[in-house]
A = this chain, B = another copy of it.
Amino acid sequence: MGARASIPDIVIGRLPIYLRALDRMIQEEKDYTSSHELGERLGISSAQIRKDLSHFGEFGKQGTGYNVQFLYEQIRHILKVDREWLMALVGVGDLGHAIADYRGFKARGFRIVALFDADPVKVGERIGDLTILPMEQLSAEIRHLGIRIAMIAVPAAEAQAVADRLIEAGVTALLNYAPITLAVPVGVRVQYIDPAAHLQHMTYYLAP
């Protein structure tokens, strides 16, 4: 297949998982894998993996399976992560600091190039080779750098207002660390990082 017809979002959400596993296989210097092996590692059925991939093209060979490096590059291309993305971070408190220092972003092609904070005391402070800018410069800086992805690490009460400003400045993808659901116009994507919510999900299954 490989049609351009709208592909289920849930499928897109699994591609980064496949990417993680393939990354690992590359480190293990594995040349080939199969839907069965991938599925085993990920706790996903092999049929699901084949079906997911079939939305985008034919990447495997019957009898042989998938070339790890090739599949890795194909998925990176599909997800558009075969390039570097520039990001802004709003809110540089404890959490924001940790996000700014987190190595997992650059390692996968996401580079933070702008920091903003509403606190005048923090403005001007340097983190790595970046200077924290005041909120007043947010729109201009984001437009100037052509940033389309932003991370929000401000208190819940301010997150919606920050999101509104970012969207107004042209951002269309938000990674929100504040424990609140954001209202955004169509065309803007939001993903949430809420570790406590994940814990709450698991406690349901724990014995009293």
Report which A residues bind B (CB closer than 8 A). 12-13, 15-17, 19-21, 23-24, 41-43, 78-81, 85, 87, 94-95, 97-99, 101-105, 107-108, 110, 148-149, 151, 156, 172-173, 175, 179-181, 183, 189, 191-206, 208
Cα A52 to Cα B157 in complex, Å, equals 27
Contacts of A205 in B (CB 8 A): 12, 172-173, 189
* A108→B187 CA distance, assembly (Å): 32
Q: List 7 A-B contacts (CB under 8 A).
A: A12-B204, A15-B201, A20-B197, A43-B183, A98-B98, A98-B102, A107-B196
If A15-B201, A20-B181, A193-B195 are given as contacts, then 6 extra A-B residue pairs at C-beta distance below 8 Å, sorted by A number, are: A24-B180, A98-B101, A104-B196, A105-B199, A108-B200, A193-B198
A107 to B196, CA, bound (A): 9
| Nearest CB on B from A123, distance (A) | 22
Q: Are A193 and B196 in contact (CB under 8 A)?
A: no
Q: How far is the CB of A203 from chain B (nearest CB, A)?
A: 5
Q: A16-B200, A102-B95, A193-B195 are in contact. Are A206 and B24 (CB under 8 A)?
A: no
Q: A197 to chain B: which residues have CB within 8 Å?
A: 16-17, 19-20
Q: Are B198 and A175 interface neighbours, CB within 8 A? A: yes
CB-based nearest B residue for A179: B20
| B17, A206: Cβ atoms closer than 8 Å | no
Docked complex Cα distance between A198 and B110 (Å): 11
